[in-house]
């Protein structure tokens, strides 16, 4: 078995999929069910049709022994007509550790030789786990310091790059949402009925858009169970519980039907996507004909003619940021433009708002160095503290041009 994906009971299942420990009924409602396990693995508890895992993948689920307090492992795979010895095999696995018998896993279901993408999919699962953990730990502190918008603020500048007027940091975040909508051509007269917020955080954008457009319903997806639960609680508190709902889901395997939303919005989540092409493809798929896709994301600069890649010092800067914030490789605004064109989006626009967000990281650093900020960082844990330590690198990257704050939008052709 070339690859094993080891998932501990309880803690890791909750960590990856938001699945509670304890007995569950029904063949498709338990990680002991191969179908349910793979559906959760690839679709984060969605209801989309089940996709087979790549050939050659063996998935090992570690489960704690209940009566004997020992640990045992069961190798599981897809349902098969040959899988007739499961009850007997399960009884063998309940023997105590003192027994000299070692199960041969003869009941394990196997696949043909290894699929070349197995390792990539394993890395995606590990990346998602890290992202979920980071935001589970850090979101509470961010809400205390900055509110329910987890993104850059918009600080207007003049032609020379100097700030025009002063706004509070929280208002700057709300202004970011409004200015992005205006830039993309989504005005007060636009008919927005169903919005999807991909990488929704606590749902700040979702609630703002739902309140801005009469009759609009917003759906948000996040990898963080904490964010989904807390965001839904905020929506209820503000009387928007019927119109704004957040859920745990993977942006690369979304649980929605084709053409479900007339506005698909991703504000600073694209940088977390390991497969940018699939990310754009999924956004396009769930967008209704005539609907609009908007991505606001961190990018590295466009390469100059003749350049094969970024300079070594630029790569090193991004590597340190990636480690702290659980980011895969970055791409350029030009690459997003290509992906939009390949997906079939029309009326595409790209913009660079690096100057408009340049005051943001300085403000975040100052808030982190306040008494409440320092105490909150240590309380949140090492992951959040590590993220705070690289904030100066984000400011440096924006300042020297390595990092770009990019906007990309396009519409899906009407049928």
Pull the structure tokens for residue 85.
């010895």
| 95, burial (CB in 10 Å: exposed 0-12, middle 13-18, buried 19+) | middle
326 closest CA partner among 150, 125, 190: 125
CA distance 246 to 222: 8
- Cβ atoms within 10 Å of 153's Cβ, excluding its own: 22
Angle subtended at Cα 11 by Cα 93 and Cα 53, rounded to the nearest 5 degrees? 70
Domain residue spans of the chain:
3-116, 125-411
Q: How many CB atoms lie within 10 A of CB 371?
A: 7
Q: Give CATH for domain 125-411.
A: 3.40.50.150
pLDDT score recorded for residue 369:
94
105: left (phi over 0), alpha (psi -120 to 50) or beta: left
pLDDT at position 161 is 65
List all residues 6 or more positions away from 43 whose beta carbon is below 8 Å from its beta carbon.
50, 51, 249, 250, 253, 255
Strands (E), 110-173: none
Collapsing DSSP to helix, strand or coil, 338 comes out as helix
Work out the number of other CB atoms within 10 angstroms of the CB of residue 58: 20
The pLDDT assigned to 115 comes to 59
Question: Cα separation of 156 and 131, whole Å?
Answer: 31
Q: Structure pTM?
A: 0.74
Question: Helix 118-146 to helix 225-237 angle, to the nearest 10 degrees?
Answer: 40
Q: Closest Cα partner for 291 from 118, 171, 412, 133?
A: 412
The predicted structure's pLDDT at residue 181: 98
Both structure tokens of 60: 């090992």
Angle in degrees, CA 15, 20, 23, rounded to 5:
140
* pLDDT given for residue 158 in this prediction: 78
For the chain, 415 residues long, give each residue's pLDDT as a single digit of tens: 333 333 444 443 344 444 443 333 333 333 333 333 334 444 443 333 333 334 443 333 333 333 333 333 222 333 333 333 333 444 444 444 443 444 444 333 444 554 556 888 888 999 999 999 999 999 999 999 999 999 999 998 877 767 777 789 999 999 999 999 999 999 988 999 999 999 999 999 999 999 999 999 999 999 999 999 999 999 999 999 999 999 999 999 999 999 999 999 999 999 999 999 999 999 999 999 999 999 999 999 999 999 999 999 999 999 999 999 999 999 999 999 999 999 999 999 999 999 999 999 999 999 999 999 999 999 999 999 999 999 999 999 999 999 999 999 999 999 8
Q: Which residues pair with 63 in a beta bridge?
A: 72
Per-residue HEC secondary structure of 249-281 comes to: CECCECCCCCCCEEEEEEECCHHHCCCHHHHHH
């Amino acid at each position: 078995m070339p690859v094993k994906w080891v998932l501990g009971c309880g803690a890791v299942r909750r960590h990856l999929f938001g699945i509670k420990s304890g007995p569950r009924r029904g063949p498709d409602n338990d990680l002991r069910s191969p179908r349910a396990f793979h559906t959760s693995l690839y679709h984060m508890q969605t209801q989309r049709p089940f996709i087979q895992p790549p050939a050659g993948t063996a998935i090992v689920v570690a489960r704690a022994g209940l009566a004997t307090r020992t640990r045992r492992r069961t190798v599981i795979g897809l349902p098969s007509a040959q899988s007739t010895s499961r009850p007997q095999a399960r009884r063998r696995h309940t023997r105590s550790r003192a027994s000299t018998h070692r199960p041969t896993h003869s009941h394990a279901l196997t696949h043909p030789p290894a699929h070349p993408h197995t390792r990539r999919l394993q890395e995606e699962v590990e990346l998602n786990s890290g992202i979920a953990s980071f935001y589970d730990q850090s979101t509470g502190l961010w809400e205390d310091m900055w509110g329910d918008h987890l993104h850059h603020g918009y600080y207007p500048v003049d032609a020379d790059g100097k700030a025009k007027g002063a706004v509070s940091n929280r208002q700057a975040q709300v202004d970011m949402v409004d200015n992005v909508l205006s830039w993309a051509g989504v005005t007060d007269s636009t008919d927005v009925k169903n919005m999807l917020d991909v990488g929704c955080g606590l749902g700040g954008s979702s609630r703002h858009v739902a309140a801005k457009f009469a009759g609009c319903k917003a759906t948000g997806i996040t990898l963080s169970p904490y964010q989904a639960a807390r965001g839904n609680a905020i929506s209820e508190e503000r009387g928007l519980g019927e119109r704004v709902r957040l859920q745990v889901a993977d942006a690369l395997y979304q649980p929605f039907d084709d053409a479900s939303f007339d506005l698909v919005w991703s504000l600073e989540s694209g940088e977390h996507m390991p497969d940018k092409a699939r990310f754009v493809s999924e956004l396009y798929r769930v967008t209704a004909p005539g609907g609009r896709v908007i991505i606001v994301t961190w990018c590295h600069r466009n390469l100059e003619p003749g350049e094969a890649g970024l300079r070594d010092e630029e790569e090193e800067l991004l590597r340190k940021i990636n480690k702290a914030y659980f980011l895969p490789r970055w791409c350029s605004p030009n690459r997003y433009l290509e992906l939009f064109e390949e997906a079939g989006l029309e009326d595409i626009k790209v913009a660079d708002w690096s100057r408009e967000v340049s005051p943001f990281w300085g403000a975040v650093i100052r808030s982190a160095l306040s008494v409440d900020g320092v105490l909150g960082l240590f309380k949140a844990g090492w992951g959040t503290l590590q993220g705070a330590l690289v904030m100066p690198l984000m400011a440096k990257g924006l300042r020297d041009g390595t990092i770009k704050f990019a906007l990309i939008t396009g519409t899906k052709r009407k049928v």
